[in-house]
Amino acid sequence: MRPLTRHVLLLGAGQTLGFASSYYLPALLAAPMAQAIGLPLPWVFAAFSLALVVSAVVGPAVGRRIDRRGGRQVLMQSNLLFAAGLLALAAAQGPIGLWAAWALLGLAMGAGLYESAFSALVGLHGHGARAGITGITLLGGFASTVGWPLSAWMEMHWGWRGACVGWAGLHLLVGWPLHAWLPRHAPVAAAADPALPDGAPARALPRAPALARPRRTAALLSLVFAVAWFGSTALATHLPQLLQDAGLALPQAVAVASLVGPAQVAGRLLDFGLLRRLHPLLAAKLAAAAHPVGAVLLLVLGAPAALAFTLLHGAGNGVLTIAKGTLPLVYFGTQGYGERQGVLMVPARIAQALAPVVFGALMQRAGVAALLLTTALGALAWLALSALGEPPAHWPDRTTP
């Protein structure tokens, strides 16, 4: 097995576990958690928002550490943080314990989710990591498919506290060994050249050519990612109700909403196949346009367009997740990639934290017309991508093996 393939499998499996036990945990455990602790349900979701804010704050520091030492150690430590946070959540008896546990889980999310996995892969493979980033997101896309049924099974048999303990055990028994199998850090400058076959002598990769306006490029990318993650989190929280507002009955709304996950995976498979031959900027622009197009169809046609909207929204999200890893690599190169990922994602994490509350309040007032907000934001993201301009011309193209 090629080293890149092996590393993608290890990192992708770690992402499936990380997302299933954090990002997708409140969907099934928030209600019993709130009931047992004696708190209103919004308090639990607010604690989850706190975790997202904490992950944003620690992101740049985590990225700097990965740049210096590689991702293996950081990801192994994230498994310990996940386990500690989940055990603290299982032991929570009131609001202070609940919020402290989610703050600890926020540290784990900042150290152990996509940005860290992407940075670890870039640290090992340089520009050869582009195809691997797609592979990591393909495996991570099954987090809800695996996580929700497993959380439901554990909650049914062990209660929500037992489910948290079960997820903590999986981080210690599965996640930590997976990341321990990663190689120790090899600096990007000495990493295997992506243009060379495995085992060939390595040579230093070129330093990133200077961008004419790097701060402008970084600001535009941050805007794109913030818009994408606002829309993704808002719809992940409210899509079944939104589809009901559009005219679907509850069973139909749930069935159609459940197709978001497969649509995201399909979008990533499309990126790995057909879109791989396109420039990553063009692929990102097509993905950014998917949600606005689907939203307009739903707003104009109503319930008959619900399936088309859901599939377009999911596929666009799937490709934009890959763009989060590849566009910074294309525009800025490998030097300081980890820290840059952390900085670029700060606005996105804050947007994630605000999305459920903001979009939910708008839905209460406007119903399905709340999509006018995400449609306008999606158009803004497309314009921001269009304003980026061409990246440095002599970076390896996307089809480099």
Token code pair at residue 114: 């996509």
What is the residue range of 176's domain? 3-190
- Residue 202: inside a domain, yes or no? no
Could you tell me which residues come within 8 angstroms of residue 216 by beta carbon, excluding any fewer than 6 positions away?
Answer: none
Domain shared by 178 and 229, yes or no? no
From residue 274, give the alpha-carbon distance in Å to each of 164, 267, 270. 40, 10, 6
Q: What spatial distance separates the first Cα and last Cα of the chain, rounded to whole Å? A: 15
Q: What is the pLDDT of residue 392?
A: 63
Query: Which long-range contacts link 387-393 to residues 24+ away (Cβ below 8 Å)?
Result: 387/220, 388/217, 388/220, 388/221, 388/281, 388/331, 390/281, 391/281, 391/330, 391/331, 392/208, 392/209, 392/211, 392/331, 392/333
258 and 164 in a common domain? no
Sign of the C-alpha dihedral computed for residues 132, 137, 142 and 144 taken in this order: positive
Q: What is the pLDDT of residue 41?
A: 84
Same domain as 263, residue 182: no
- The dihedrals phi and psi of 198, each to the nearest 5 degrees, come to -55, 135
**Is residue 219 located within the same domain as residue 340?**
yes
CA dihedral 168, 174, 177, 178 (to 10 degrees): -120
State the DSSP string of 324-380: HHHHHHHHH-STTHHHHHHHHTHHHHHHHHHHHHHHHHHHHHHGGGGHHHHHHHHHH
243 assigned to some structural domain: yes
Which pLDDT belongs to residue 185?
62
For the chain, which ranges sit under pLDDT 50? 187-208, 394-401
231 in the same domain as 182: no
Q: 159-165, long-range: CB within 8 Å, 24+ apart, which pairs?
A: 159/32, 160/29, 160/32, 160/33, 160/36, 161/36, 161/90, 161/91, 162/90, 163/29, 164/29, 164/86, 164/87, 164/89, 164/90, 165/86, 165/87, 165/90
Residues 32 and 176 in one domain: yes
Widest pairwise Cα distance in the chain? 62
| 266 and 126 fall within a common domain | no
d(CA 30, CA 33): 5
- CA dist 16 and 29 (Å) reads 18
Domain count, the chain: 2
Whether 196 maps to a domain, the answer reads no
CATH of the domain at 350: 1.20.1250.20
Give a yes or no: residue 13 inside a domain: yes
Q: Compute the C-alpha angle 384/280/133, nearest 5°.
A: 115
Give 196-199's long-range contacts (Cβ < 8 A, gap of 24+): 198/2, 198/3
Q: Please, where are the H alpha helices in 113-249?
A: 114-125, 129-140, 143-170, 176-180, 214-245
74 and 220 belong to one structural domain: no
- Do 55 and 183 belong together in one domain? yes
Please name the helix (run of DSSP H) or strand (run of DSSP E) that holds residue 205, with its range, or none.
none
How far apart, in whole angstroms, are the C-alpha atoms of residue 294 and residue 297? Answer: 5
* pLDDT (0 to 100) of residue 186: 54
What's the confidence (pLDDT) of residue 399?
38
- Any domain includes 209: no
**Could you give the CA distance from residue 186 to residue 120 in angstroms, rounded to a whole number?**
10
- 351 part of a folded domain: yes
Task: Indicate if 368 and 275 belong to the same structural domain.
Answer: yes
Burial of 392 (0-12, 13-18, 19+ CB in 10 A): middle
Q: Is residue 67 part of a domain?
A: yes
Decide if 206 is inside a domain. Answer: no
Query: What does residue 66 show for φ and ψ, rounded to 5 degrees?
Result: -65, -40
Neighbour count for residue 183 (Cβ, 10 Å): 12
User: Do 225 and 306 sit in the same domain of this protein?
Assistant: yes
Task: From 228, 226, 205, select the one nearest 329 (Cα to Cα).
Answer: 205
pLDDT at 131: 79
Instruction: Assess whether 352 and 222 both reside in one domain.
Output: yes
